[in-house]
Structure 1
């Protein structure tokens, strides 16, 4: 794709740049955009090569739109935040239909078909849940809950937004420079200009999605990486330093990304840490509850289905208190009444924690549990702590 607006070498370096930047944006652990970006790239590339760079006949345009929007629909089933890029692609296809001189009824027919195909995966999943008697559960989890989410503190949101800006700005600046040079040198090549405009609009639509979803987590910036790194590719062809800048940018991404991974390993642990935890929490084997800590413990230790809300943030995050479909106080009481043998937590409380739930948990931990493991999580003084139930025979 980058080769449509840059030389082959510039396109290759831009591809490396995308991989390097995943680590900087928190994607090394496999956040959902790491996976749906692939589907969006596939959909965008179909339209780029078959529609933007050509004047296809109606049947090719319609077929390409069907394939691309079905890919968008699959991306939506990984995470609905892909909707903004999907809407852009749908509008672009409709505009392409209109630009081809097709009558209004044909455009409306194509638009309906493309929208339907984008919704098919979601409708299929929803139909499965409704047929199984869990339609309302599906609707709550996929739609209602996002509007019931609370807000984080202004300080936390500001820090997260600044972090996201620090990640994307080093790509935005060379992308703007590359676009300026590419458009300037490609005035006579209509197809290249169209490709530039298409990729720029893609970047804008991804940016709109990031802005509307807010600065909750650093990995929310991941959808910006494909279009921005594509637009960095023409920097290679800018004389007097363009190649050096692009190579240095990629090298910095690799070095800083490795630094972030090392930091995350120190903070969250590695394979050796997991082995230590598994050993400690297997003497004897018993039910596990992760209030705070690595949820991978649920994959390697018995957790006995203590709750249908295993994600720790459902309990410990204040902003999630009304957005999960359960009362965290009642659910915590039910879990603790089951007397899990091990409970993992972090100390001290973090800035966005639901302190009422924490107090409820620690009242029981102090009376019925004792500490069996403690690991420093970071230089800030946070610890991962494991508590074990008192007087429990194997």
Structure 2
């Protein structure tokens, strides 16, 4: 059977399975999703996010992970990774449909494949937040995108409500969606104005659409306020990011340079599509809308001001769709680009596996710690050890960077040193430490080292990727004699 007769969705599934095969079941793909799973597991066990377990991500992300986390370890790891793969394939399917609607049918398949392959290049190989919310955003885009005849779709007000409701759900996965959401809302308002609707009615529609987008966030705030934790929710979700210290400018520029390099084939292809694109009246409104979406996504990344490579994941769908405009006429070039992305992605996955560790290595650490009544504190290392061992926590701030990194000083709601001292006074059964890391507060590291050297016994040191995990167990106080107790 010819490849042209194979359903596109089936091709996407097969390629996604092949591209991510090396990641399946690995609980330490990335520190972020380790924490999302751990926090979701704690929530399933009764912890209240932002109060009992602290982070800045909206609660929707933890709710998304909760069904997988409820399965426990290791089944839950496979479950969230399967969900991520499904969302990625669905995003590729919608992207290919949008490329076809724009008249770029010959580039539709390459565009969808780019959406599947590119995340491996920018740390999106697992369940990073954009892997999930990109589907919601592209669904919103598809709802309100101009029709092939150049007109806005019918019942645009209702479509706008549905689109902004999807944006609202995406906002509760990660707040950086606000930039793409603003673009969708402004596009809707501009379309209403161009159709001859008066300014007052346009403003009223915009207010309704914006309120719809904010509804999920307002509901989350209201629930926390009802629990008496409204201020805790507000600080964690919005105010704490304003207190965080910026990373060094040179480091940020270097990170941005890496993003530009890794996305350059998509950006260049989209740019060539823009320059060479025929302004055909029937499809130009949709094409211009898609190019504008690219611009909004790029602007959102630049304005956000933090340039970890996975922050570029929201740029992949719009850039891949726009690139289809060039790839339609240059299919051989498209296949070469995709082949390079496939091979480069696999090479990076294997490199990161060597650097971050294997499932077997982290399992060896977990076996030494074991389960039991005593608590665990991972000062530095993988937080997935909490659900792997089932041991209790001694602080809401279990993400190691929150208590140990310079940029988090004064930005987590408590003094870092005071909280570390409180943790050490509780004398958890086990403390896990790796070596010093870039950006760590040297004084806090020294405080923890001094404490474990005095009150703990180092049981062993085990390798996990490029790090060595020192496992410290609390010294048992000597039993008092019968005479001394009289």
Task: Name the TM-score, length of structure 1 as normaliser.
Answer: 0.91
Q: Structure 2 vs 1, CA of residues 303 and 356 (structure 1 numbering), >3 Å: closer, same or farther?
A: farther
Output the CA distance in 2 between the equivalents of 1:109 and 1:330.
50
Q: 2:242 aligns with which of 139, 147, 167?
A: 147
Question: Residue 114 in 1 paired to residue 209 in 2?
Answer: yes
1:115-151 superposed Cα distances (whole Å, 9 cap, x missing partner): 1101110111111011110111111011110100001
Q: 2:125 aligns with which of 12, 28, 31?
A: 28
1:267-316 superposed Cα distances (whole Å, 9 cap, x missing partner): 12222122211111118663211111111111112332311111111112
Q: Structure 2 vs 1, CA of residues 351 and 48 (structure 1 numbering), >3 Å: closer, same or farther?
A: same
- 1:357 — aligned with what? 444
Q: 353-362 or 278-287, which moves further after superposition?
A: 278-287
> Which secondary structure state, in structure 1, belongs to the residue aligned with residue 432 of structure 2?
strand
1:235-288 superposed Cα distances (whole Å, 9 cap, x missing partner): 2222xxx21211111111111111111112111222212221111111866321
Output the CA distance in 1 between the equivalents of 2:328 and 2:106.
9
> Which secondary structure state, in structure 2, belongs to the residue aligned with residue 190 of structure 1?
coil
After TM superposition, give the deviation of residue 370 of structure 1 in Å. Answer: 3.3
- Describe how 1:347-386 pairs up with structure 2 within 5 A: 347=435, 349-371=436-458, 372-375=460-463, 377-378=465-466, 382-386=467-471
**Contact 1:289–1:303 at 8 Å: present in 2 too?**
no
Q: 32-41 or 46-55, which moves further after superposition?
A: 46-55
**Contact 2:373–2:391 at 8 Å: present in 1 too?**
no
- Describe how 1:1-394 pairs up with structure 2 within 5 A: 1-48=98-145, 53-57=150-154, 60-181=155-276, 183-184=277-278, 187=279, 189-238=280-329, 242-282=330-370, 286-347=374-435, 349-371=436-458, 372-375=460-463, 377-378=465-466, 382-391=467-476
Output the CA distance in 2 between the equivalents of 1:204 and 1:327.
40
How many equivalent pairs are there?
A: 380
Output the CA distance in 1 between the equivalents of 2:134 and 2:296.
14
Q: Structure 2 vs 1, CA of residues 350 and 159 (structure 1 numbering), >3 Å: closer, same or farther?
A: farther
**Structure 1, unaligned runs of 5 or more:** none
Output the CA distance in 2 between the equivalents of 1:92 and 1:82.
15
Q: Structure 2 vs 1, CA of residues 257 and 52 (structure 1 numbering), >3 Å: closer, same or farther?
A: farther
Output the CA distance in 2 between the equivalents of 1:38 and 1:111.
23
Q: Structure 2 vs 1, CA of residues 164 and 314 (structure 1 numbering), >3 Å: closer, same or farther?
A: same
**Contact 2:148–2:283 at 8 Å: present in 1 too?**
no
After TM superposition, give the deviation of residue 390 of structure 1 in Å. Answer: 3.0
**Contact 1:278–1:301 at 8 Å: present in 2 too?**
yes
> Which secondary structure state, in structure 2, belongs to the residue aligned with residue 102 of structure 1?
coil
Output the CA distance in 2 between the equivalents of 1:8 and 1:37.
22
1:314-338 superposed Cα distances (whole Å, 9 cap, x missing partner): 1121101111111111111111111
Q: Structure 2 vs 1, CA of residues 96 and 34 (structure 1 numbering), >3 Å: closer, same or farther?
A: same
**Structure 2, unaligned runs of 5 or more:** 1-97, 479-486
**Contact 2:147–2:286 at 8 Å: present in 1 too?**
no
Q: 11-20 or 297-306, which moves further after superposition?
A: 297-306
Q: Structure 2 vs 1, CA of residues 303 and 41 (structure 1 numbering), >3 Å: closer, same or farther?
A: same
> Which secondary structure state, in structure 1, belongs to the residue aligned with residue 145 of structure 2?
helix
> Which secondary structure state, in structure 2, belongs to the residue aligned with residue 292 of structure 1?
coil
**Contact 1:280–1:373 at 8 Å: present in 2 too?**
no
1:62-86 superposed Cα distances (whole Å, 9 cap, x missing partner): 0011000111111111111000111
Q: Structure 2 vs 1, CA of residues 94 and 390 (structure 1 numbering), >3 Å: closer, same or farther?
A: same
CA RMSD of aligned residues (A): 1.9
Output the CA distance in 1 between the equivalents of 2:151 and 2:347.
44
